[in-house]
Amino acid sequence: MRVGLGVAGAGALPHEATLRATDRLQWARSTRRREIGQALAALGEPETYGVVITGETRFGKSAVASALLEQIDPSVHTVRLRSTIVGSETPYGALAALIARLPPETPGDPASTMRGIQDILAADADGRPAVLALETSRNLDELSTAALVNIVVTGTAKLVIVADRTSDLPPDFHWMLAEDRLRDIPLPPLTPEETAAAVTELLGGLVPQTVSLELHTRARGNPQILLMTVAEMLRTGTLRVSGGVWMTAGADEERGAGPLRQVEDLVRARVEREPPEIRAVVEGLACARRLPLEILVRVYGPDVVVRMEESRLIVVDDGGRHMVALADPLIGDVVRSWLSVTRRRELRDLIMGGGEPAPELLTTFELLGFAAWTRECHSVLSPRLAIAAATASLRLYDAQFALRCLEGVAREQDTWAAVQRLRARASLLLQVPRQALASLDAVAAEESAAQSASDAAWSAAARAEALRWIPGRSDEAPRVLEDARGEVLVRSGMGREDADLERETGHALEILDLAEFEHFAFRGDFARIIDRLEAANAAGTAHDPDFPLMVQCLLMEARTAMGREQEGLALMHEVASALGGAVHEAKIRHEFGVRAFNVLLLNGHWRQCLALVKGTVKTPLARASALGGSLELGIGLAHVYAGRGAEALPSLLAATAMLEHQPVFNTLGAAYAATAFAYAQLGDTASAQHYLAKLDALPVLPCSHATSASTEFCSLLARRWAGDSGAVARLVESARTDIAAGRWTMAGLKLVGATVGATDDELRLLEDVCGRRQGSLARLGLLLARGTRTGALEDLIAAGDLAAELELDALEARCVAVAIDAARDAGDTVTVRLLQTRLDRLAGTRVPVLPVVPRTSLPSLTVREQEVAALAARGTSNRQIAEDLRLSVRTVEGHLYQVFSKLGVANRAELAAVL
């Protein structure tokens, strides 16, 4: 049977999702399940007068109130009221529907009117509890307020009020809030986790975390905007399903798309209600994103700014330059879309005075905002601003925007090499290395000579990185770096004394050293660089403050790969502490994340791998979107290495679909291999072979050693689990290759997989390899190998305990199964039964297919024997057992004899231990 998400129903997903996206009440029930539950509980408390549902504008408060009323017990009488804009000027405006039903002879004084309203409510309720639902409470007139207060105080009905803030309620309600008689139910923005759960429920199928994060970012946690966004993307096809996995259109496909139609209509209605002077400020802030308060006041006047702050249209930072931005960024996104290029240029000239700000005076956000504004005006940035904006964009892994900043930049001798180097860096992030090389080749000799030594080194490092991603050209990279090193030394003046030149030369040499370290780490040749990495780490000082951290990131991976897992893990924690207390470029954090994942995975800490990857998903959206497939792959790999194929499959199926659509660093093969291994762990041989066939059909493309090692490991293990007779020999051969390269850790993992039913020589090899390593996995492998070879029961049990500590269920099951055979061979029936019980707990849901099955199973107990054994193990006497089960005492004694004989126990105490 095929396990996992089948594609047969995938065609129905878009249609069903579109239908669900039109049901706003169901969406409210889904996204606000917790808040609706809190409101229901509050309404059920006798001492409360009701609840107030509060939240930002367009947060779906009315839909939540309607969903709440639907879930109130049918025996409760509910009435919906609505106060209109003119309600505050109309006596009893909110209660107009009830006022219209008063008898004509009712006196017009407030007391008589209140009694009449109460009588109508009581008559309608007919003895049942009643709830009044009131929207737009800000417009309540005094008489409506007094009547409602009287209704709740007299117990005639409870209230469900919808308001932006509790402060918007009339003062008469404030004492109820203060005494907790009126319960505030705030609707906060959705968290990324809540968005993921809600979108998955809405769409069906698999929703990758990066896709749900993109939707969350678009909606900024607003559930109503999220629903409209999903509905519109479904309509336009920018949210589509492939093989049961939902994906969004790539950046290139979306670039020309305007804002979502429903969202635009909503924002347009909001903005067009404002007077012209406020709309002008909204347009200016929409284009600029953020402006200093001083400039905003100078251009538009203080009165308008004060009015906008009081109406909560803008927010002003307390510190620094008092930057001003629109309170709702969605308004800015939509307003920008309807402004003409001419209007954008007018606003730019008005606010900026026709000039450009100095990039060194701008924050990253301001710099990127100004660059975006300039590009939206169809203008070209000056080389200085273009270089600064592209550099900042690349720090955030937004390669597309970096390239847009550099479009049309004038070719100047002093800056052209920097422009082309940034284009190359962006191309490398977009995984088009040939284009990166073309950008670097477009720099003339005199333009290259105008670079500083460190800039020339950065160019060489970019060229070396591009070469290693082009098939057949990886071997050219060391020569490029060596030639660049020679040029730097020539520039240094060969000993001329100049402190600035010395610093520049030192910085350039560090850049080249780092590029060389990265190149050989990419190839898995850690033995070639580890001594230099250790020396650089021991030196501790550098011309670039980030250089030591980059060295440590590489060193922790090298140590781990070469059997020094504990040392690598300790260094990883040091680097994590250093990164946690300071601001560093995204590149360092990315390098740390990638290499820390490998360190944790090879140490068996798969849960920490998951935490690391899930933290990466929440980093800048441009990076998460670009790396989406590989992030899902990381989650799947952590589970599949732990032997949890069922938990791995959702992420792996998402990863394969995403990587087929948008390749990421040639990791598709690893996704196929890991998916095959996950299916093999579930006993689904047909699906495993399907993904292995897809792997075999892939062309061989350059990828990092970590990727190729995972691909080989997972594919060979999948083949072994699927019954491929040659897989074991290939695993051993691959492990010997790792041993020759000094990669003891991966060799050990492969040998653990290869030594099921292995010869003594292979088990001795595993012992030798594990003896050269550190950490719990090394100890586990050594104990397993030695216990399997010698039959030492204590070694096998200790190995199983280590596996249990690491939550490696499949490996624990293997240790326990081998130990059962060893205990049986030793005639230790009590231990056999204890171990069999442990294996039974693992088998099934935790380990669907046992990697090793004991040679013979213990005799099973009949149903009646199980009942007798369970009672006897609790200390129940034979006579009491007979009475409880309605048997004779002699029959109970006979059953107990069979139980003791089958389980190899002599008394009730041993029976209790076995059970």
Residue 132 inside a domain? The answer is yes
Residue 385 inside a domain? The answer is no
Mean pLDDT of the 482-504 span: 80
What's the pLDDT score for residue 851?
Answer: 84
Residue 496 CA from chain centroid, whole number: 52
What's the pLDDT score for residue 217?
Answer: 82
Mean pLDDT of the 887-901 span: 82
- pLDDT: is 755 or 420 the higher one? 420
What's the pLDDT score for residue 255?
Answer: 40
Residues 886, 892: Cα–Cα separation, whole Å: 10
Residue 388 inside a domain? The answer is no
Mean pLDDT of the 731-740 span: 96
pLDDT digits (tens, 9 = 90+) for 223-260: 988 998 898 888 888 888 888 889 887 544 444 345 56
E strand or H helix at 390: helix 383-395
pLDDT digits (tens, 9 = 90+) for 558-612: 999 999 999 999 999 999 988 875 555 677 888 899 999 999 999 999 999 999 9
pTM given for the model: 0.82
Calculate the average pLDDT of the chain.
Answer: 87
E strand or H helix at 201: helix 192-203
What's the pLDDT score for residue 581?
Answer: 56
Residue 877 inside a domain? The answer is yes
Ranges assigned E (strand) in 826-886: none
What's the pLDDT score for residue 408?
Answer: 92
Residues 552, 897: Cα–Cα separation, whole Å: 65
Q: Are 99 and 92 in contact (CB under 8 A)?
A: yes
Is 80 exceeded by the pLDDT of residue 837? Answer: yes
Residue 136 inside a domain? The answer is yes
Residues 271, 250: Cα–Cα separation, whole Å: 30
Query: What tokens were used for 793?
Result: 């029961």
Residues 195, 63: Cα–Cα separation, whole Å: 17
Is 60 exceeded by the pLDDT of residue 295? Answer: yes
Mean pLDDT of the 136-141 span: 68
Biggest alpha carbon–alpha carbon distance for the chain: 110
What's the pLDDT score for residue 772?
Answer: 95
Residue 627's closest CA among 832, 430, 826?
430
Whole-number percent of the chain with pLDDT over 90: 48
Residue 121 inside a domain? The answer is yes
Cβ neighbours around 486 below 10 Å, total = 10
CATH number at residue 41: 3.40.50.300
SS3 160: strand
What's the pLDDT score for residue 11?
Answer: 60
Residues 617, 630: Cα–Cα separation, whole Å: 10
| Domain end (from 155, 186, 217) | 186
Q: Domain range spanning residue 177?
A: 33-186
Residue 55 inside a domain? The answer is yes
What's the pLDDT score for residue 5?
Answer: 45
What's the pLDDT score for residue 689?
Answer: 95
- pLDDT: is 334 or 500 the higher one? 334
What's the pLDDT score for residue 84?
Answer: 52
Residue 566 CA from chain centroid, whole number: 27
pLDDT digits (tens, 9 = 90+) for 776-827: 999 999 999 999 999 999 999 999 999 999 999 999 999 999 999 999 888 8
What's the pLDDT score for residue 6?
Answer: 44
Mean pLDDT of the 83-98 span: 67
pLDDT digits (tens, 9 = 90+) for 849-864: 888 888 765 556 788 8
Judged by average pLDDT, the poorest of 27-41, 176-190, 324-338, 698-712 is 324-338
CATH number at residue 880: 1.10.10.10
Residue 86 inside a domain? The answer is yes
State how beta strands 77-82 and 239-242 pair: unpaired
Tally of domains within the chain: 2
In the block, residue with structure tokens 């219209």 = 100
| Domain end (from 149, 171, 186) | 186
What's the pLDDT score for residue 251?
Answer: 44
Residues 312, 317: Cα–Cα separation, whole Å: 13
What's the pLDDT score for residue 419?
Answer: 96
| Domain end (from 186, 210, 240) | 186
Residues 474, 468: Cα–Cα separation, whole Å: 4
What's the pLDDT score for residue 912?
Answer: 74
Eight-class DSSP state of 578: H
